[in-house]
Amino acid sequence: MDTLHFETAEQLRLACRRGQFSAPTSGLAEGYQQGNIVILPSALADDFLRYCVRNPKPAPILGISEVGDPRLPSLGADLDIRFDAPRYRVFRNGEAVDTVTDIEALWRDDFVTFVLGCSFSFETALLRADIPVRHIEAGRNVAMYETNIETAPSGPFSGPMVVSMRSFTPQDAIRAIILSSHLPQAHGAPVHIGDPSQIGISDLAKPDFGDAPVIHPGDVTVFWACGVTPQTAIRHARPEIAITHAPGHMLVTDLRTEIA
């Protein structure tokens, strides 16, 4: 696939819809907020909505659809969730069973779509502030860890908070903490700094998701709530069917990445 440049979120979504784009969205359509997708049968939607509201740091809600309606007009006038993300993951009974580039054939009249904030917006803000992001510099995925912090449960949705870790010089760590506190829709302020064992992480070099981190001598480790948390809650809930974006293949919305 060519390296494509998208001026707007809508251009990127249209390329997905036409089958012209199915790659990761990191760094694309800069300034537009990207989102995690969770699609569930309506029978589970109320419990999942409460789960998100009770756990706003890992699951900040950017938008919710009407039952059976594939549109999310608050996130994009013509947005159609069946086609507009580059790649989707299908879960049956809590297990990922398939990856597809559209979900037209799977769509059901009782589906409800949730779009949840994503750390890509936050990383863009860090880079704009000239704060180096070690895993991006190294061309790696961010390191993510299951913690001993339990999320607030709702119905069948529960489980540990998953965090992403980024390390910085102490001065950049201070700036990153303050900056992220102004981006509540991209997981907000960190949930922990310093000693990983305090939140149940035994070995930083062995993340549960993503790649091993790059940590420079003298760095301070900073841990943010991660959008993988609701996916872990879905695995725990074992719904008959659930559809999410494929990791890194986010929905790009018309929302601008704004300071709150």
Report the residue number, 84 or 172, with the smaller CB distance to a second copy.
Answer: 172
Size of the site for a second copy (CB under 8 A): 18
Report the residue number, 127 or 174, with the smaller CB distance to a second copy.
Answer: 174
Q: Interaction with a second copy in 209-238: which residues (CB under 8 A)?
A: 218, 220
> Binding to a second copy by residue 14, rule CB under 8 A?
no
- Cβ atoms of 103 and 243 within 8 Å: the answer is yes
Burial class (CB in 10 A: 0-12, 13-18, 19+), 31: middle
Report the residue number, 71 or 175, with the smaller CB distance to a second copy.
Answer: 175
The CA-CA-CA angle for residues 41, 33, 151, to 5°, reads: 50
The residue type found at 55 is N
Taking the C-alpha atoms of residue 22 and residue 15, their distance in angstroms, rounded to an integer, is 8
Q: Interface with a second copy by CB under 8 A: which range of 94-102, 109-117, 122-130, 176-184?
A: 176-184
- Cβ atoms of 112 and 67 within 8 Å: the answer is yes
Looking at 67, 171, 206, 238, which residue binds a second copy (CB under 8 A)? 171
Looking at 136, 174, 212, 241, which residue binds a second copy (CB under 8 A)? 174
The residue among 221, 226, 119 whose CA lies nearest residue 179 is 119
Q: What is the DSSP letter of 249?
A: -
Report the residue number, 58 or 190, with the smaller CB distance to a second copy.
Answer: 190
Looking at 81, 90, 118, 173, which residue binds a second copy (CB under 8 A)? 173
Q: How far is the CB of 149 from a second copy (least distance, A)?
A: 10
- Cβ atoms of 250 and 35 within 8 Å: the answer is yes
Q: How far is the CB of 173 from a second copy (least distance, A)?
A: 6
Q: Interaction with a second copy in 92-151: which residues (CB under 8 A)?
A: none
Taking the C-alpha atoms of residue 15 and residue 40, their distance in angstroms, rounded to an integer, is 25
Contacts of 150 (CB under 8 A, 6+ apart): 158, 159, 160, 161
CB atoms within 10 A of CB 107: 14
Report the residue number, 133 or 173, with the smaller CB distance to a second copy.
Answer: 173
Binding residues (CB under 8 A) for a second copy: these are 170-171, 173-175, 177-178, 181, 189-195, 198, 218, 220
